[in-house]
Chains A and B, each alone.
Chain A
Amino acid sequence: MIDARAWTRAALIGSLWGALELSVGSVLHLSRVPLTGMVMSAIALACLLTLRRLSPVPGVCLVAGAVALVVKVFGIGGLYPGPLIGIGAEALLVELAMTALPRGAAAAMAAGALVFLWGPVQKLAMTRIVAGQDVISAGIALGGRAITAVGLDSVGVGWVVGGAVAMLAAGGGCVGWAAWQLAGRVALRVGVEQ
């Protein structure tokens, strides 16, 4: 007959995620707290991975993302494209990782790494759109100078950038693993461990 729980859970968890983006996200952003993006990505991972662990239905993360987007649209101060693109991309990346890989902590870690890597990619894309290619070129040139100034030019720019990406991915993987454990505790708490 009927079981609507995957949809209702997506509605409520998406709503919770959107409300946290509105409240915690806005406060952290306005307070100029460092690493706000990573904190919000961790919140997104906790919400999405919990939903996916409790209701392993393909597409459920996208529904939660759509709900969070709608809640965020009604935020104070109007519609800002950056966070909206971020929410949509996070939902899509978690959905992709959890669908493509066997369900478990490894898939959650991959989802975490993808979500954490998305932050710089989005920043780069938004900078390209708003400020143009010249700023990207200038950033690369200034980055090169900074690497030389701190004496890392012998290592090679590629290795420095690769190391930073690997560290970010590792950090995201750890957060994904922690979010999967949290999802397990939530599943136990509500008595629906799948």
Chain B
Amino acid sequence: MTRRIAGVGLALAAAAALSGDLRVVAAAAVVAVLSAVVLDPPVLRSALRVAAVLTVALTAAVAGAAVALVQGPARGFVTAGGVVGRVLILWIVAGVLGRRVDADRLVEGARRLGLERLGLVLGLALNALPRLVEVSAEVWMVHRLRSPGRWQAILRAPRVAEVLLANAVRIGDDAAAAAALRGHGGLAHPRRPVLEPPAPVVVVTGAPGCGKTAAIEAAAGALRAQGRRTVGIAQPGVYSHGRKVSFLVRDLSTGDEAALAQLVDRRQGEHGTSYRFSREGFEHAARALGRAASGSVLVVDEVGPIELRGDGHMPALRRALATRGLAAVVLVVRRQLVPSLLAALVTSDVTIVDVEQDPGTAADRVLRAVEGAG
């Protein structure tokens, strides 16, 4: 009961701090001090630390001097007294509130207010903070190593900001992908679906270079060996000195290849990428996807950001998906784009194969998923 009265007293003191009357402010300061004694004595001790007292004294002196210069010393003293009282009240209110706020209370509070998503976001943000700090420390260390002088460090600051923000976005996208893979829909944002597959879908995912293309080509080979018609495309990368420099597009029915994309300077890239794309490559892919027929397994490696914006292979993929009687659809997508792909599909019959879980068995898992779908 005493604590409740003290809480109400503190709230009233905070409101009274806005008064222009020095006597009201002084009375409110006394109430705030008494409330702090009941609610949280360490806050009062923190308000009486030397640094805090000096800060308040300096602020009051500056404000009092300014008013004294214009309106005379008496008014200056009143102003200085008011500043001391108001800062003391605000300090106590902020201290008492600050010591009662913790992550669990905030998340719980957001949930109680019906802000489930905000609660989840706060939870994610606080959980991700250590990883973010770790990444930021690495970025900062690299920045210091590459910038020997102070001016160089300042000039390179925008690049550091770019890397830090990109890392934060990637960690956020990873979290969204992980939620999608586990079927968590708490943070779901409804989007307009763009694909209506007439058959069960197998989504093959994993980080770039983890072996998605190799897995689906092996699975496609095994399906053909079983006598099942398998059509579609694979997009193997071409490497030079350990760096991916271009992409081919391979017709899975015939094995014919065409150049699809070439690495160029970022400013010359197309579709917001660092690659320049070949029209012949897209036409080759469209012919391959056009072989879809009833009973066939349609494979598309890969559905990237360009396709999810409706460009690239998407028009040919839509036409292929209009084929009646497809046995199954296998879509390859990098991990970060899983949420976008799932948001674009009008079907709940989706099996996700994460190649990174065990790259050695990925082809078998894709094969089993297709057989299960069929």
* Interface residue? A150 (CB, 8 A): no
Cβ–Cβ < 8 Å partners of A193 in chain B: 272
CB distance from A130 to the nearest CB of B (A): 5
- Binary interface profile of A, 115-137, with partner B (CB < 8 Å = 1, else 0)? 00000000000010111111101
CB distance from B171 to the nearest CB of A (A): 5
C-alpha gap A16/B136 in the complex (Å): 9
Q: A9-B172, A12-B172 are in contact. Are A186 and B162 (CB under 8 A)?
A: yes
Cβ–Cβ < 8 Å partners of B171 in chain A: 12
CB distance from B65 to the nearest CB of A (A): 9
C-alpha gap A29/B46 in the complex (Å): 20
Range of interface residues on A (Cβ < 8 Å): 35 or more
Contact (Cβ within 8 A) B128 A11: yes
* Interface residue? B87 (CB, 8 A): yes
C-alpha gap A37/B340 in the complex (Å): 38
Contact (Cβ within 8 A) A7 B189: yes
* Interface residue? A40 (CB, 8 A): no
CB distance from A59 to the nearest CB of B (A): 10
- Binary interface profile of A, 70-106, with partner B (CB < 8 Å = 1, else 0)? 1101100011110000000000000000000000000
Q: A5-B173, A11-B172, A142-B66 are in contact. Are A19 and B185 (CB under 8 A)?
A: no
Indicate which residue in B86, B126, B187 contacts A4 across the interface (CB closer than 8 Å).
B187
Contact (Cβ within 8 A) B175 A131: no
CB distance from B133 to the nearest CB of A (A): 6
C-alpha gap A2/B178 in the complex (Å): 12
- B350 closest partner in A (C-beta): A1
* Interface residue? B54 (CB, 8 A): no
Q: A12-B125, A63-B121, A139-B66 are in contact. Are A3 and B86 (CB under 8 A)?
A: no
Cβ–Cβ < 8 Å partners of B266 in chain A: 188
- B120 closest partner in A (C-beta): A7
Q: Most chain-B Cβ atoms within 10 A of its Cβ — which of A8, A43, A137? A: A8
Indicate which residue in B124, B166, B348 contacts A1 across the interface (CB closer than 8 Å).
B348
Contact (Cβ within 8 A) B70 A19: no
* Interface residue? A41 (CB, 8 A): no
CB distance from B114 to the nearest CB of A (A): 15
* Interface residue? A192 (CB, 8 A): yes
Contact (Cβ within 8 A) A134 B180: no
C-alpha gap A181/B31 in the complex (Å): 52
Cβ–Cβ < 8 Å partners of B66 in chain A: 135, 138-139, 142
- B106 closest partner in A (C-beta): A70
CB distance from B117 to the nearest CB of A (A): 6
Contact (Cβ within 8 A) A79 B189: no
Cβ–Cβ < 8 Å partners of A46 in chain B: 161, 165
Contact (Cβ within 8 A) B189 A6: yes
Give chain B interface residues in 133-170, CB to chain A under 8 Å: 133, 136, 158, 161-166, 168-170
C-alpha gap A60/B191 in the complex (Å): 16
Contact (Cβ within 8 A) B188 A2: yes
* Interface residue? B339 (CB, 8 A): yes
C-alpha gap A70/B176 in the complex (Å): 21
Contact (Cβ within 8 A) A73 B172: no
Cβ–Cβ < 8 Å partners of A182 in chain B: 158, 161-162, 165
Contact (Cβ within 8 A) B128 A12: yes
Cβ–Cβ < 8 Å partners of B120 in chain A: 7
Cβ–Cβ < 8 Å partners of A61 in chain B: none
Q: A3-B191, A12-B172, A130-B59 are in contact. Are A138 and B121 (CB under 8 A)?
A: no
* Interface residue? B342 (CB, 8 A): yes
* Interface residue? B112 (CB, 8 A): no
CB distance from B59 to the nearest CB of A (A): 7
Cβ–Cβ < 8 Å partners of A127 in chain B: 63
Cβ–Cβ < 8 Å partners of B210 in chain A: none
Cβ–Cβ < 8 Å partners of B71 in chain A: 134, 137-138
Contact (Cβ within 8 A) B180 A132: no
Indicate which residue in A2, A11, A19, A189 contacts B343 across the interface (CB closer than 8 Å).
A2
* Interface residue? B258 (CB, 8 A): no
* Interface residue? B263 (CB, 8 A): no
C-alpha gap A133/B75 in the complex (Å): 12
Cβ–Cβ < 8 Å partners of A19 in chain B: 129, 132-133, 136
Contact (Cβ within 8 A) A191 B272: yes
* Interface residue? B122 (CB, 8 A): yes
CB distance from B76 to the nearest CB of A (A): 9
C-alpha gap A123/B169 in the complex (Å): 33
Q: Which residues of B contact A (CB under 8 A)?
A: 17-18, 20, 46, 59, 63, 66-67, 69-71, 75, 78-79, 82-83, 86-87, 90, 94-95, 97-99, 101, 103, 106, 117-118, 120-122, 124-126, 128-129, 132-133, 136, 158, 161-166, 168-173, 175-176, 179-180, 184-189, 191, 266, 269, 272-273, 305, 339-340, 342-343, 345, 348, 350
7 contacts between A and B (CB under 8 A): A7-B189, A63-B118, A67-B125, A130-B63, A142-B66, A182-B158, A187-B272
Instruction: Give the 6 A-B CB pairs with smallest separation, nearest first.
Output: A79-B98, A193-B272, A4-B187, A2-B188, A12-B172, A8-B172
Given contacts A16-B168, A130-B83, A178-B158, 11 further A-B contacts (CB under 8 A): A2-B343, A5-B189, A8-B175, A8-B179, A10-B172, A16-B164, A67-B125, A130-B86, A134-B71, A135-B63, A189-B166
